[in-house]
Structure 1
Amino acid sequence: MPALQGKGVVVTGAGRGIGRALATRAAAEGARVVVNDLDEANAHQVAAEIGGTAIAGDVTAPEALIDAATETLGRVDVFFANAGIDGAGGANSLQTEDDVWDRVLDVNVMAHVRAARVLVPRWLDDGQGGRFVVTASAAGLLTMIGSAPYSVTKHAAVGFAEWLSVTYGARGIDVHAICPQGVRTQMLEEAGPLQALLSRDSALEPEQVADAAVAAIEDGRFLVLPHPEVAGYYVARATDTDRWLAGMRRLQQKVDDAGGSS
């Protein structure tokens, strides 16, 4: 039986982009889907399109969402912790104010932690397990030129997903981390000089990311790498970190020359 068929699935940040594609693909796989987004209109639109249920709200306080989704679905079997924001980039990223750092950390990291705090004990208590899927980024494996808050929090998101897998993987909790490079979303459109860099190995459609996620879930793979090139970059970074950083500095110089310095 396909991993998502008949499952109760929640997708956060599902009003557009990767989240919308994940929700659509989950429904196509036979899942019963709760569509969450801060934008209530977008959540209802996607839910109507896929035959799901819209539950709008802020993912940084996920207990109400999970309780409502549990009431709707009977049980949350799969949680796609997809919602994320990019924070401040550009020429003054280092000087990003603390309140922006706090918000990006809240959405990109602590929202995952808080959701897991609610879900994991329930999954362990009923003995049926569960699946927790974090949408991180290749930035969480390789570092991101541009926004310091985005790069740092995506590293943290991958780190939390790894910890969750190590700690609970043998107890029936499956964990996956989605780590794409450039994807044709609003975030990429607003990336300015970084758009070409993020699209270096081709910018994918959100639906391709969803396809990669489902394939990884079916195969039981932790890392979801919609851009297969990222695997090689990840190895290169670990094998010769100084050489990797030197190459990244050269890329940074190109961005600086194009007027997008950090």
Structure 2
Amino acid sequence: MKIWIAGASGMLGSELASKLSSHDLLLTGRSDLDISNENAVLNFCKQNKPDTVINSAAFTNVDACETEKEVAWRVNAWGCRNLALACNTVGTRLVNISTDYVFEGDGSRPYHEFDIANGGQTVYGQTKFAGEQFIRQLCPNHLIVRVAWLYGPNGKNFVNTMLSLAAKNLSEIKVVNDQIGNPTSTAAVANLIDNLLNTDYRGIVHGTCEGSATWYDFAKAIFELSGVPQNVIPCTSKEFVHPAPRPRNSRLEKRVIRLLRLQSMPEWKEELANYLRTSI
């Protein structure tokens, strides 16, 4: 299969490039091809005729999106539009990476794929949701894979941040304990996408690890599993004010994975232990 991975230099994109290395891969980063350029995207698709396009390119700095709105809309929304139009023109399947931020994040249970999203409370969530809408309207042959609380070896993430703070020999680290989600490795998502490519399913799939934790729980597990003695203090979201509000509930239910009878996503703590053992 010929697969174009847009955003191949990012944390998830690089993981996908490794996982799917047995395929004929076309790898582009921001400096190679700007997905917000409609003509460039269409010409690339026409010239290379990929069987599948995986879009892992995104402006993911949720706080920066609040001030750099134009960039967020061009990359996260308009970029998806351009890819959808090009894929539909060439007859290519489009796999797009999305986020839990498309939901309000104030629900009392995990969100499943058939819950109604509206873009949430942030520019990041609104632009990613707009990208989803463009894809659903313009490219019927699509997969939208929503992920959350992602970490991996090739990018800035919570696991590496916690371990870097511990290396400074701080007496304590305060971590938010009133936001809950599914800590998820890029390896688990890449494996899911590999499995999904062997199906003809079209629509939305939630792709986070099983089980849930607060950021405090996540931090405690990082230090326990890595054997790092670090005092972690739980705190509230009010003690860490950000330009973009964080969802209190980022949990995603994997209903479609069960309906498709695909391999279940791994349990988050087991996956974290594997990551710390093999990647740190």
- TM range, normalised to the smaller chain? 0.5 to 0.7
Q: Deviations over 1:221-259 (max 9, x none)?
A: 5223222669xxxxxxxxxxxxxxxxxxxxxx9322334
Superposition deviation, residue 108 in structure 1: 0.3
Q: 1:159 aligns with which of 126, 133, 141?
A: 133
- Could you state the TM-score of these two structures normalised by the residue count of structure 2? 0.57
Match of 1:258 in 2: 240
Identity level (%): 13
**Using a 3 Å threshold, how does the CA distance of structure 1 residues 198 and 17 change in structure 2: closer, same or farther?**
farther
Map 1:72-151; keep pairs closer than 5 Å: 73=48, 75-87=49-61, 89=63, 96-97=66-67, 100-123=68-91, 130-143=92-105, 148-151=122-125
Q: 2:204 aligns with which of 223, 226, 233?
A: 223
Q: 2:19 aligns with which of 1, 8, 25?
A: 25
Q: Structure 1: how far apart are the matches of 2:177 and 2:157?
A: 10
Q: Structure 1: how far apart are the matches of 2:58 and 2:100?
A: 14
**Using a 3 Å threshold, how does the CA distance of structure 1 residues 155 and 191 change in structure 2: closer, same or farther?**
farther
Superposition deviation, residue 146 in structure 1: 10
Q: Deviations over 1:47-81 (max 9, x none)?
A: xxxxxxxxx1222115335534654x4x2211112
- Which runs of no fewer than 5 residues in structure 1 stay unpaired? 1-6, 40-55, 124-129, 231-252
Q: Structure 1: how far apart are the matches of 2:17 and 2:34?
A: 17
Superposition deviation, residue 200 in structure 1: 4.1
Confirm or deny that 1:175 pairs with 2:142.
yes
Superposition deviation, residue 149 in structure 1: 1.4
Match of 2:198, SS state, is: helix
Matched AA of 1:33: L
**Using a 3 Å threshold, how does the CA distance of structure 1 residues 152 and 146 change in structure 2: closer, same or farther?**
closer
Higher RCO structure, 1 or 2 (CA under 8 Å, sep 6+): 2
Confirm or deny that 1:58 pairs with 2:58.
no
Please say if residues 135 and 178 of structure 1, whose CA atoms lie closer than 8 Å, have aligned partners that are also in contact: yes
More strand by share: 2
**Using a 3 Å threshold, how does the CA distance of structure 1 residues 191 and 224 change in structure 2: closer, same or farther?**
farther
Matched AA of 2:30: L
Superposition deviation, residue 147 in structure 1: 7.5
Match of 2:221 in 1: none
More helix by share: 1
- Which runs of no fewer than 5 residues in structure 2 stay unpaired? 107-118, 163-172, 212-234, 246-280
Matched AA of 1:214: D
Confirm or deny that 1:14 pairs with 2:13.
no
Match of 1:218, SS state, is: coil
**Using a 3 Å threshold, how does the CA distance of structure 1 residues 216 and 198 change in structure 2: closer, same or farther?**
farther
Matched AA of 1:24: S
Q: Structure 2: how far apart are the matches of 1:223 and 1:162?
A: 10
**Using a 3 Å threshold, how does the CA distance of structure 1 residues 76 and 66 change in structure 2: closer, same or farther?**
farther
- Could you state the TM-score of these two structures normalised by the residue count of structure 1? 0.61
Count residues in correspondence: 194
**Using a 3 Å threshold, how does the CA distance of structure 1 residues 196 and 65 change in structure 2: closer, same or farther?**
farther
